[in-house]
Structure 1
Amino acid sequence: MNLVNNNLNKIPNDMIKKFIVMIFIIIIASTISTLLLVFDKKVPSYYSLLPILPCSFGLISCIFANIYSLFLKSISITIITSTYFIRFVVIPIFLSIGGYSTKVINIDAYSYIESAILLMVFELFIVYGYLSFNVGKYSYIRNDLVENNTKSSLSFRFIIISLFLYVVFVLIKYPEELSYLGLFTQFSEADRILSAKNRLYAVQIVPGVIDTFFTIFISILQVFIPILCIKFIQKMYSKKNQKKAANLSIIVVLCTAVVMTTEKAHSVTIAVSLFLIIYKLYPSVMKKRAPYFIIIMILFVFGGLIFKAGANQSENFLASVSTILNAYFSGPINTAVSFIMRNDITLNIVFSDLGNSIPLLKYLFQDLNTSPKLFNLALYGNTDNSDQIIPLLGQGYFYFGFFIAPILSIIVVKLALFVERLAHLEKNLLNKYIYIHALLVISLVPVLYNLNIMINLLFLLAINIFIAKCSKKNI
């Protein structure tokens, strides 16, 4: 506690007040969740340690309370703490009211839920401890954007136009590739099934190399086209009417969120990144709109998860929501599956995981086993399904064992803090936007993603950074 007190002495008073409010909310929420689980008479025996999750979250949050003084000030800390809160406090509640429903078919996993819960608590303690000791190094650096209205370089414009023309050409040549694009409004189960069938057909019809570059280029254009539109709006209206400029920019963000690829989370992270840039461009206008945007995005994300999984059409809505949250936020049962994975870790698995994570190389490794494949085999007990993501913590356990399992989480958190520092130091609009998007994605990895997905995302982010750096006269 001396560490916490020493850190708090360096923090401004307004941030201390926020930290006190945050800790109070966390203690109340953790206590309510713990009591609901303790007095749940229908809890299965294999979930006997489940109350430890919310209880430990409240306790560890108090031990490393200085983290919460930077909530909403630090992007990485806000995302990391929020996703861990969902995993430790919210998911147990939905497990209880949802009848402990999950996607796990292999009953052997239930024997390891208690071990998984202890591993989750151990990881939380390590991650929060690391954040508490290191957060001060990154979180007080601030730089304003530099207004730069010069045109982007010829090389930058050439790259963007070339990517766009390639996409247009492929769509003309192979209209089946339209199946990769869609709208958030595809709510019905029939629409989702039809979309999946159309995408599968497109993959079979379109040559693999062409399809790979098409999806990569779409992902890149998703990042750059909206920010170019926002920059154009800023140039046209910001000096005359900032309110109009902000409103038009918000419309761009909403369109970005609604027009999606099959990788729907990509559109959401881009939309949030754009909003943060708009907030920096028009702070006086956006302060009033920020709370509404946050509420809309929360409803948008969770509504998207519910509709994507078909919970809105399920006979047991709460059970479906419980299943969804466990799958996406790596609940205890999903972590437990990692304990029953075939434990024959070899260099082949490691190289296969790395190779399958890079779009241009994955065709050389696609026939090899990967940890995600072994995870789905353990989860379902068969090879017919492979739609679940192995948690990063479970991957760490598979690679290194119980006590070194959190090392992957620490590496990711360290990377998130480093990228946040780069984002704070950057003054250029486009570069800052790219760093913020990278920061958002990396901060989601410990709870929502795994090493394979992170490598894939970093590959695409590296391309985006390279394109942005191509322009010395960058916007």
Structure 2
Amino acid sequence: MPIKIPKQFYVIAVNVIMLAIGGFVTFYVAGNINASGYERLYLLPLTFTVSFLFVFSRILFQRFKVFIIVFTGIGFARFVVLPYFIVFNDYYGGRSPEPPLAGSMETAIYLMVYELIVVTIVIGILDYFQNKKYKPRNTQQPFDETKSYFGYVAFIVVAIVAALGIPNVISSISFFIPKPDLVDVMEDSNVLVMLGGYMFILAKQLVFIMVTWWAHKRHRATSQLLYVWIAIGALFANIGIFIGTNRSDIVLVAIVSLVTFRLLFPKYFKLVVLLVVGMLVGILLIMSTVRNIASISGGTSGVTDFTDNLQVYFGGPYNVAMALETKLIYPEAQNWSVLFFDIFRPMIGVNMLVKDLPFEYSNIFFNQRYFYSDHATQILPMIGQGNLFFGYLLSPLLSVLVVCLAYFIQSKIDQTRSIEMFYFLTLVCTRMGMLMGQNTMNIINDLSYNLALFLIVYYVNRKIVYKKRLGDVRYE
């Protein structure tokens, strides 16, 4: 008889490990800092360790919440791993030809600590109230049967025709191996091309959901492994068929596909995770080569390149300091017109109406400070964006709003009995878990890209019922 280990044991074990790692990094960083402005860098691992011990470890083991898992993972990389490698590698610089001032760097560290404390408190409060209303999902019957797939099938057919018929869409689709001449239609100004790309991505994910749900039902009825392998094949296809060059989109789809698979085939989850991670690493490595991403070290130091990537993608202190100086150098970046553009310019559909307005969004100003050119590759951190519009005191406001929205969506995930709604809401919630390395433009673009078109198709599918016996189509 297998021994059931109490959940509290895992909480204690993880807390001990986190205390050991966080304590070591805190003391190591505090004792080995070698750059002006970085003297308080040790506060980052110290604050995260305390937040983890008092809030995140408890929440992580209560029940599965993808937002908290991703948020904690990103937070660990940003507040613990990055400071360690900055000091270990003696890499205090970045990609800008003019680094931020020491005073800006010190303020950036304090601002990151402030953001983490505020967001941790908000998460603790929201989680407390949400758990009071939570009802566990039936693991034997996690979802209800969809009445009809007619609307979905019709949309999938239209999406395939659009992908084949609209120039440049099919050329941007990769099958497991990124193409050498890969292009990104999601950045194309042609509305028709962008729509064709969005439709294909949505159709691909609907196929994965329908096939996996069918395989789950057949496996439950027959216990045949064939249906597990069919589901695994659908999962690999959903991850390995992608469009464009955005690596985070591939990672997001992989995470949500695994979450869905885990709910339907928990017995085979661990094996599939190992296979998916291997495939994902291969795709991302090839894509880095295809995109010709510049190495900060010129290929001479993998550790330096790793540290630089953490700084860029997780909103490290260097980038936050750059955001602070953006406000000083470009005071016009604080205008409400910029905030207006930050909200509506990334919104799929609406962006075509506002793109020609005489405004700029905040990320443009941020990259101008970064490179003093039109080179726009850096991501303005959320806390820097908040400071730009609301000042130091209210700088975590945007982060707090994203957390509140994520918990609202999580409540809908807990309540839904629709597998397709579960999948797409989880997809959005996963992106929100990356909020500290993102900004509102990334979040809004993802909401409109992954959710808006799906909700339209979902609504139409629910209204259309195909009657096999009569052979007709009617609206409910």
- What TM-score, normalized by structure 2, do the two folds share? 0.84
Counterpart Cα distance in 1 of 2:161 and 2:284? 35
Equivalent residues in 2 for 1:103-142 (5 A)? 103-139=95-131, 140-142=134-136
Query: What corresponds to 2:472 in structure 1?
Result: none
Bigger drift between 158-167 and 233-242 goes to 233-242
1:161 aligns with 2:180: no
What is the one-letter code of the residue matched to 2:439?
N
Map of 2:381 onto structure 1: 391
Conservation of the 8 A alpha-carbon contact between 2:178 and 2:286: no
1:83 equivalent to 2:74? Answer yes
Tell whether 2:47 aligns with 1:74. Answer: no
Tell me, yes or no, if the aligned pair for 1:184 and 1:304 is still in contact at 8 Å: no
Tell me the residue number matched to 1:339: 324
Distance 1:471 1:378 in 2: 47
Cα deviation 1:96-151 (Å, max 9, x = unaligned): 23323422333235541110110000010011111112213334432234565566
1:468 to 452, 458, 463: 458
Aligned equivalents of 2:285 and 2:73: distance in 1?
17
Asked whether the equivalents of residues 342 and 441 of structure 2 are also in contact (C-alpha less than 8 Å), the reply is yes
Structure 2 CA distance for partners of 1:290 and 1:127, relative to 1, 3 Å: farther
Relative to structure 1, the CA distance from residue 267 to residue 108 in structure 2 (aligned partners, 3 Å threshold; closer, same or farther) is closer
CA–CA distance in 1 between the matches of 2:287 and 2:46?
27
SS of 2:433's partner is helix
Per-residue CA deviations over 1:72-91 (Å, capped at 9, x if unaligned) read 62222111111111100011
CA contact (8 A) 1:238 1:245 kept: no
* Unpaired stretches in structure 2, ≥5 consecutive residues: 467-476
In the TM superposition, residue 395 of structure 1 has moved relative to its aligned partner by 0.7
Q: 1:468 to 1:242 in 2, by over 3 A?
A: farther
Structure 1 contact 67–77 (Cα < 8 Å) conserved: no
Q: What is residue 31 of structure 2 aligned with on the other side?
A: 39
Letter in 2 for 1:55: L
CA 1:432/1:72 → structure 2, altered by over 3 Å: closer, same or farther? same
- Distance across 1 between alignment mates of 2:313 and 2:379: 8
Q: Does 1:422 align with 2:412?
A: yes
User: For residues 372 and 327 of structure 1, do their structure 2 counterparts lie closer, same or farther at Cα, with a shift above 3 Å needed?
Assistant: same
Match 2:441 to one of 447, 452, 461: 452
Cα deviation 1:314-366 (Å, max 9, x = unaligned)? 12211111111111011011111111112222222122222211232324325
Query: Post-superposition shift, 1:237?
Result: 4.4
CA 180–448 in structure 1, closer or farther in 2 if over 3 Å, else same = farther
1:357: which partner in 2? 346
Q: Secondary structure at the match of 1:105?
A: coil
Instruction: Identify the structure with the greater helix proportion.
Output: 1
State the 1:439 CA deviation.
1.7
Residues 305 and 104 of structure 1, relative CA distance in 2, 3 Å threshold: farther
1:282 aligns with 2:265: yes
Of 58-67 and 254-263, more deviation after overlay is shown by 58-67
Q: In the aligned structure 2, how far is the partner of 1:37 from the partner of 1:317?
A: 20
The CA distance in 1 between the partners of 2:96 and 2:124, in whole Å, is 35
C-alpha contact 1:226 1:253 (8 A) present in aligned 2: yes
Counterpart residue identity of residue 16, structure 2: F
Counterpart mapping for 1:254-403 below 5 A: 254-261=236-243, 262-286=245-269, 288-289=270-271, 292=274, 296=278, 299=281, 309=293, 314-341=299-326, 342-344=330-332, 345-363=334-352, 364-366=354-356, 368-383=359-374, 385-403=375-393
User: Which SS does the other structure have where 1:28 is aligned?
Assistant: helix
Change (3 A) 1:55 1:306: farther
TM-aligned CA distance change 1:65 to 1:376, over 3 Å: closer
Equivalent-residue separation in structure 2 for 1:241 and 1:73 (angstroms): 26
Aligned-pair CA distance for 1:272: 1.8
Q: Which runs of 5+ in 1 are unaligned?
A: 1-12
SS at match of 1:88: helix
Q: How many Å separate the matches in 2 of 1:301 and 1:117?
A: 34
Match of 2:473 in 1: none
Secondary structure of residue in 2 paired with 1:358: coil
Question: Cα–Cα, structure 1 residues 134 and 203, in superposed 2: closer, same or farther, change >3 Å?
Answer: closer
Rounded to whole Å, the distance in 1 between the matches of 2:122 and 2:80 is 21
Over the matched positions of the two proteins, sequence identity in percent amounts to 18
Counterpart amino acid of residue 241 in structure 1: S
Change beyond 3 A, Cα 1:242–1:313 = farther
Structure 1 outlier segments of 4+, above 6 Å:
none
Q: 2 CA distance for matches of 1:387 and 1:396?
A: 20
With over 3 angstroms needed to count, the CA separation of the structure-2 counterparts of 1:186 and 1:153, relative to structure 1, is closer
Partner Cα distance (1:392, 1:242) in 2 = 48
Counterpart amino acid of residue 14 in structure 1 = P
Contact map agreement 2:219 2:227 (CA 8 A) in 1: yes
Tell me how far 1:211 sits from its aligned partner. Answer: 1.9
Q: Which amino acid aligns with 1:143?
A: R
Find the aligned partners of 1:449 and 1:411 in 2 and give their Cα distance: 13
1:245 is aligned with what amino acid? Y
1:144-177: CA deviations, max 9, x gaps? Answer: 345655662433332232222212211xxx2x43
Residue 332 to residue 424, structure 1, CA distance change in 2 (3 Å)? same
Q: Distance in 2 between matches of 1:137 and 1:304?
A: 44
Given that 2:144 and 2:417 are in contact with CA atoms closer than 8 Å, whether structure 1 keeps it comes out as no
Counterpart code for 1:76: F
Q: Structure 1 residues 222, 109: CA separation in 2 closer, same or farther (over 3 Å shift)? A: farther
> Residues 236 and 276 of structure 2 are in contact (CA less than 8 Å); yes or no, is this contact kept in structure 1?
no
Kindly tell me: are residues 15 and 293 of structure 1, through their superposed partners in 2, closer, same or farther at Cα, counting changes over 3 Å? farther
Contact 2:93 2:99 in 1 (8 A): no
The SS at the match of 2:242 is strand
> 1:72–1:78: 8 Å Cα contact kept in structure 2?
no
Q: Over aligned residue pairs, what C-alpha RMSD do you find?
A: 3.1
**Secondary structure of the corresponding residue to residue 470 of structure 1:** helix
Instruction: Indicate conservation of the 8 Å contact 1:181/1:259, yes or no.
Output: yes
The code of the aligned residue for 2:24 comes to I
- The offset of 1:397, in angstroms, is 0.9
Distance 2:97 2:136 in 1: 49
1:471 partner SS: helix
Distance in 1, matches of 2:228 and 2:298, equals 37
How far off its partner does 1:199 sit?
5.1
Per the TM alignment, residue 219 of structure 1 is displaced from its structure 2 partner at its CA by 3.1
TM-score using structure 1 length? 0.84
